[in-house]
Structure 1
Protein backbone atom coordinates (compact mmCIF):
# COMPACT_ATOMS: atom_id res chain seq x y z
CA UNK A 1 0.00 0.00 0.00
CA UNK A 2 1.19 3.52 -0.73
CA UNK A 3 1.52 6.07 2.03
CA UNK A 4 -1.15 8.81 2.04
CA UNK A 5 -0.19 12.24 0.73
CA UNK A 6 0.25 13.77 4.19
CA UNK A 7 2.52 11.03 5.52
CA UNK A 8 6.14 12.14 5.23
CA UNK A 9 8.85 9.56 4.58
CA UNK A 10 10.20 9.91 8.13
CA UNK A 11 6.77 9.31 9.73
CA UNK A 12 6.09 5.86 11.10
CA UNK A 13 2.44 6.57 11.75
CA UNK A 14 -0.22 8.85 10.34
CA UNK A 15 -3.77 9.56 11.51
CA UNK A 16 -6.02 10.60 8.61
CA UNK A 17 -9.05 12.26 10.16
CA UNK A 18 -10.66 12.84 6.76
CA UNK A 19 -10.91 9.11 6.00
CA UNK A 20 -10.79 7.91 9.64
CA UNK A 21 -7.83 5.70 8.78
CA UNK A 22 -4.65 4.93 10.73
CA UNK A 23 -1.50 4.31 8.65
CA UNK A 24 1.67 2.70 9.96
CA UNK A 25 5.04 2.38 8.23
CA UNK A 26 6.69 -0.92 9.12
CA UNK A 27 10.44 -1.42 9.59
CA UNK A 28 10.72 -2.77 6.03
CA UNK A 29 9.09 0.40 4.64
CA UNK A 30 5.69 -1.08 3.82
CA UNK A 31 2.65 0.90 4.86
CA UNK A 32 -0.41 -0.68 6.41
CA UNK A 33 -3.80 0.91 6.98
CA UNK A 34 -6.60 0.21 9.41
CA UNK A 35 -9.84 2.08 10.06
CA UNK A 36 -10.08 4.01 13.31
CA UNK A 37 -11.40 1.99 16.20
CA UNK A 38 -14.65 3.07 17.86
CA UNK A 39 -12.65 4.78 20.63
CA UNK A 40 -10.48 6.62 18.08
CA UNK A 41 -13.58 7.85 16.20
CA UNK A 42 -15.03 9.10 19.49
CA UNK A 43 -11.76 10.84 20.34
CA UNK A 44 -11.61 12.47 16.91
CA UNK A 45 -15.19 13.75 17.31
CA UNK A 46 -14.33 15.10 20.76
CA UNK A 47 -11.33 16.92 19.28
CA UNK A 48 -13.50 18.46 16.55
CA UNK A 49 -15.94 19.64 19.22
CA UNK A 50 -13.09 21.15 21.23
CA UNK A 51 -11.75 22.90 18.12
CA UNK A 52 -15.20 24.38 17.52
CA UNK A 53 -15.43 25.54 21.13
CA UNK A 54 -11.99 27.11 20.82
CA UNK A 55 -13.07 29.07 17.73
CA UNK A 56 -16.23 30.24 19.49
CA UNK A 57 -14.22 31.27 22.54
CA UNK A 58 -11.78 33.28 20.41
CA UNK A 59 -14.69 35.12 18.79
CA UNK A 60 -16.32 35.74 22.19
CA UNK A 61 -13.11 37.15 23.66
CA UNK A 62 -12.68 39.61 20.78
CA UNK A 63 -16.35 40.60 20.96
CA UNK A 64 -16.24 41.16 24.71
CA UNK A 65 -12.95 43.08 24.47
CA UNK A 66 -14.54 45.49 21.97
CA UNK A 67 -17.45 46.15 24.36
CA UNK A 68 -15.08 46.64 27.29
CA UNK A 69 -13.03 49.13 25.24
CA UNK A 70 -16.19 51.06 24.41
CA UNK A 71 -17.07 51.16 28.11
CA UNK A 72 -13.61 52.42 29.04
CA UNK A 73 -13.83 55.12 26.35
CA UNK A 74 -17.17 56.21 27.82
CA UNK A 75 -15.70 56.36 31.32
CA UNK A 76 -12.91 58.60 30.03
CA UNK A 77 -15.40 61.23 28.81
CA UNK A 78 -15.40 64.25 31.17
CA UNK A 79 -19.04 65.15 30.48
CA UNK A 80 -20.90 62.59 28.35
CA UNK A 81 -23.89 63.82 26.38
CA UNK A 82 -27.31 62.23 26.64
CA UNK A 83 -26.70 60.57 23.28
CA UNK A 84 -23.38 59.11 24.47
CA UNK A 85 -25.02 57.89 27.67
CA UNK A 86 -27.83 56.20 25.71
CA UNK A 87 -25.24 54.53 23.44
CA UNK A 88 -23.36 53.34 26.53
CA UNK A 89 -26.54 51.84 28.00
CA UNK A 90 -26.88 49.81 24.78
CA UNK A 91 -23.24 48.70 25.00
CA UNK A 92 -23.65 47.64 28.65
CA UNK A 93 -26.92 45.84 27.91
CA UNK A 94 -25.27 43.99 25.04
CA UNK A 95 -22.23 43.19 27.18
CA UNK A 96 -24.44 41.89 29.98
CA UNK A 97 -26.62 39.73 27.72
CA UNK A 98 -23.65 38.31 25.81
CA UNK A 99 -21.76 37.58 29.04
CA UNK A 100 -24.81 35.80 30.50
CA UNK A 101 -25.19 33.72 27.34
CA UNK A 102 -21.49 32.86 27.40
CA UNK A 103 -21.74 31.84 31.05
CA UNK A 104 -24.72 29.59 30.29
CA UNK A 105 -22.80 27.89 27.47
CA UNK A 106 -19.80 27.44 29.76
CA UNK A 107 -21.94 25.76 32.41
CA UNK A 108 -23.44 23.45 29.79
CA UNK A 109 -20.06 22.54 28.29
CA UNK A 110 -18.52 21.85 31.69
CA UNK A 111 -21.45 19.72 32.78
CA UNK A 112 -21.24 17.64 29.60
CA UNK A 113 -17.47 17.27 29.90
CA UNK A 114 -17.62 16.29 33.56
CA UNK A 115 -20.51 13.89 33.13
CA UNK A 116 -18.69 12.15 30.27
CA UNK A 117 -15.50 11.88 32.27
CA UNK A 118 -13.61 14.12 29.87
CA UNK A 119 -10.71 16.21 31.01
CA UNK A 120 -10.38 19.87 30.10
CA UNK A 121 -7.04 19.49 28.31
CA UNK A 122 -6.80 17.83 24.94
CA UNK A 123 -5.20 14.43 25.26
CA UNK A 124 -2.43 13.51 22.90
CA UNK A 125 -3.33 10.66 20.63
CA UNK A 126 -1.54 7.45 21.41
CA UNK A 127 1.65 7.52 19.43
CA UNK A 128 2.15 11.27 19.29
CA UNK A 129 4.40 10.91 22.30
CA UNK A 130 5.82 7.47 22.72
CA UNK A 131 4.65 4.21 21.29
CA UNK A 132 1.55 4.14 19.08
CA UNK A 133 -1.40 2.22 20.43
CA UNK A 134 -1.50 -0.16 17.48
CA UNK A 135 2.21 -0.94 17.72
CA UNK A 136 1.83 -1.61 21.43
CA UNK A 137 -1.01 -4.03 20.72
CA UNK A 138 1.02 -5.76 18.06
CA UNK A 139 3.97 -6.26 20.39
CA UNK A 140 6.33 -3.80 18.74
CA UNK A 141 8.70 -1.19 20.09
CA UNK A 142 10.70 1.69 18.59
CA UNK A 143 14.31 0.89 17.81
CA UNK A 144 16.78 3.25 19.52
CA UNK A 145 19.10 2.79 16.55
CA UNK A 146 16.95 3.55 13.50
CA UNK A 147 13.72 4.82 15.08
CA UNK A 148 11.65 2.16 13.30
CA UNK A 149 9.15 -0.20 14.88
CA UNK A 150 10.28 -3.76 15.51
CA UNK A 151 8.97 -6.83 17.28
CA UNK A 152 9.71 -6.74 20.98
CA UNK A 153 12.45 -9.08 22.11
CA UNK A 154 11.16 -11.61 24.58
Structure 2
Protein backbone atom coordinates (compact mmCIF):
# COMPACT_ATOMS: atom_id res chain seq x y z
CA UNK A 1 0.00 0.00 0.00
CA UNK A 2 1.21 3.52 -0.59
CA UNK A 3 0.79 6.46 1.81
CA UNK A 4 -2.28 7.87 0.00
CA UNK A 5 -4.15 4.60 0.37
CA UNK A 6 -3.58 4.72 4.14
CA UNK A 7 -5.20 8.13 4.62
CA UNK A 8 -8.26 8.07 6.84
CA UNK A 9 -7.71 4.49 7.94
CA UNK A 10 -7.84 3.82 11.66
CA UNK A 11 -5.72 1.22 13.42
CA UNK A 12 -7.46 -2.10 14.09
CA UNK A 13 -6.71 -5.19 16.12
CA UNK A 14 -4.83 -7.78 14.07
CA UNK A 15 -7.08 -10.65 12.98
CA UNK A 16 -6.54 -14.04 14.68
CA UNK A 17 -4.63 -15.45 11.71
CA UNK A 18 -2.13 -12.60 11.49
CA UNK A 19 1.10 -13.43 13.28
CA UNK A 20 3.18 -10.82 15.12
CA UNK A 21 5.82 -10.82 12.36
CA UNK A 22 3.35 -10.71 9.44
CA UNK A 23 3.37 -7.51 7.41
CA UNK A 24 0.27 -8.41 5.39
CA UNK A 25 -2.71 -10.63 5.95
CA UNK A 26 -5.45 -11.41 3.44
CA UNK A 27 -8.68 -12.55 5.10
CA UNK A 28 -10.65 -14.17 2.29
CA UNK A 29 -13.56 -15.03 4.60
CA UNK A 30 -14.27 -11.35 5.32
CA UNK A 31 -12.52 -10.03 2.19
CA UNK A 32 -10.39 -7.71 4.28
CA UNK A 33 -6.75 -6.77 3.73
CA UNK A 34 -4.64 -6.05 6.82
CA UNK A 35 -1.25 -4.32 6.81
CA UNK A 36 1.18 -3.84 9.69
CA UNK A 37 2.73 -0.37 9.67
CA UNK A 38 6.32 0.47 10.58
CA UNK A 39 5.26 1.43 14.10
CA UNK A 40 3.54 -1.96 14.61
CA UNK A 41 -0.06 -0.79 14.27
CA UNK A 42 -2.32 -2.69 11.91
CA UNK A 43 -4.69 -1.02 9.47
CA UNK A 44 -7.28 -2.68 7.28
CA UNK A 45 -9.43 -2.08 4.26
CA UNK A 46 -11.96 -4.09 2.29
CA UNK A 47 -10.74 -5.91 -0.81
CA UNK A 48 -10.77 -3.70 -3.87
CA UNK A 49 -12.53 -4.61 -7.11
CA UNK A 50 -9.52 -6.40 -8.60
CA UNK A 51 -8.85 -8.40 -5.42
CA UNK A 52 -12.53 -9.42 -5.22
CA UNK A 53 -12.47 -10.49 -8.87
CA UNK A 54 -9.35 -12.62 -8.36
CA UNK A 55 -10.78 -14.29 -5.27
CA UNK A 56 -14.07 -14.94 -7.06
CA UNK A 57 -12.16 -16.57 -9.93
CA UNK A 58 -10.19 -18.78 -7.52
CA UNK A 59 -13.37 -19.84 -5.74
CA UNK A 60 -15.16 -20.43 -9.05
CA UNK A 61 -12.28 -22.57 -10.31
CA UNK A 62 -12.42 -24.69 -7.16
CA UNK A 63 -16.21 -25.05 -7.56
CA UNK A 64 -15.88 -26.04 -11.23
CA UNK A 65 -13.20 -28.59 -10.36
CA UNK A 66 -15.46 -30.10 -7.68
CA UNK A 67 -18.37 -30.26 -10.12
CA UNK A 68 -16.20 -31.90 -12.76
CA UNK A 69 -15.10 -34.58 -10.33
CA UNK A 70 -18.71 -35.20 -9.33
CA UNK A 71 -19.88 -35.35 -12.93
CA UNK A 72 -17.11 -37.75 -13.90
CA UNK A 73 -18.32 -40.16 -11.21
CA UNK A 74 -21.91 -39.82 -12.43
CA UNK A 75 -20.83 -40.46 -16.04
CA UNK A 76 -19.26 -43.76 -15.02
CA UNK A 77 -22.56 -44.77 -13.44
CA UNK A 78 -24.40 -43.68 -16.59
CA UNK A 79 -22.27 -45.95 -18.78
CA UNK A 80 -22.84 -48.92 -16.49
CA UNK A 81 -26.61 -48.34 -16.46
CA UNK A 82 -26.68 -48.13 -20.26
CA UNK A 83 -24.73 -51.38 -20.55
CA UNK A 84 -27.21 -53.08 -18.22
CA UNK A 85 -30.15 -51.75 -20.25
CA UNK A 86 -28.66 -52.97 -23.53
CA UNK A 87 -27.94 -56.43 -22.11
CA UNK A 88 -31.61 -57.18 -21.44
CA UNK A 89 -33.94 -58.00 -24.32
CA UNK A 90 -37.71 -57.72 -24.53
CA UNK A 91 -38.09 -54.17 -23.29
CA UNK A 92 -41.47 -52.45 -23.35
CA UNK A 93 -42.17 -49.19 -25.12
CA UNK A 94 -42.35 -47.48 -21.74
CA UNK A 95 -38.90 -48.79 -20.82
CA UNK A 96 -37.50 -47.51 -24.11
CA UNK A 97 -39.03 -44.08 -23.51
CA UNK A 98 -37.58 -44.03 -20.00
CA UNK A 99 -34.18 -44.95 -21.42
CA UNK A 100 -34.38 -42.14 -23.99
CA UNK A 101 -35.15 -39.73 -21.14
CA UNK A 102 -32.16 -41.09 -19.20
CA UNK A 103 -29.91 -40.74 -22.24
CA UNK A 104 -31.08 -37.15 -22.71
CA UNK A 105 -30.15 -36.32 -19.09
CA UNK A 106 -26.81 -38.05 -19.57
CA UNK A 107 -25.92 -36.16 -22.74
CA UNK A 108 -26.90 -32.90 -21.04
CA UNK A 109 -24.45 -33.73 -18.24
CA UNK A 110 -21.75 -34.40 -20.83
CA UNK A 111 -22.43 -31.02 -22.47
CA UNK A 112 -22.23 -29.26 -19.09
CA UNK A 113 -19.01 -31.11 -18.30
CA UNK A 114 -17.40 -30.18 -21.62
CA UNK A 115 -18.51 -26.57 -21.11
CA UNK A 116 -16.96 -26.52 -17.64
CA UNK A 117 -13.73 -28.03 -18.95
CA UNK A 118 -13.56 -25.43 -21.71
CA UNK A 119 -14.11 -22.61 -19.22
CA UNK A 120 -11.36 -23.92 -16.97
CA UNK A 121 -9.02 -24.31 -19.94
CA UNK A 122 -9.84 -20.84 -21.29
CA UNK A 123 -9.71 -19.18 -17.89
CA UNK A 124 -13.31 -17.93 -18.13
CA UNK A 125 -13.93 -18.08 -14.39
CA UNK A 126 -15.86 -14.90 -13.64
CA UNK A 127 -19.10 -16.87 -13.42
CA UNK A 128 -19.93 -20.52 -12.84
CA UNK A 129 -23.48 -20.41 -14.13
CA UNK A 130 -23.67 -24.07 -15.06
CA UNK A 131 -26.17 -26.51 -13.68
CA UNK A 132 -26.01 -30.15 -12.82
CA UNK A 133 -29.05 -32.37 -13.28
State the shift of 1:67 in Å: 0.7
State the shift of 1:68 in Å: 1.6
Residues 11-66 of structure 1: CA deviation (Å, up to 9, x unaligned): 72321224321123468754332332332122112123223323332332232222
Q: List gaps (5 residues or longer) in structure 2.
A: 1-11, 127-133
- Bigger relative contact order, structure 1 or 2, given CA contacts below 8 A and separation 6+? 2
Corresponding position of 2:110: 99
Cα root mean square deviation, aligned: 3.8
Give every structure 1 segment of 4 or more consecutive aligned residues whose post-TM-superposition deviation is greater than 6 Å: none
Q: List gaps (5 residues or longer) in structure 1.
A: 119-154
Corresponding position of 2:3: none
The answer to whether 1:81 aligns with 2:90 is yes
The TM-score, its normalising length taken from structure 2, stands at: 0.55
How many matched pairs?
112
The TM-score, its normalising length taken from structure 1, stands at: 0.50
SS for the counterpart of 1:82 is: coil
Corresponding position of 2:55: 44
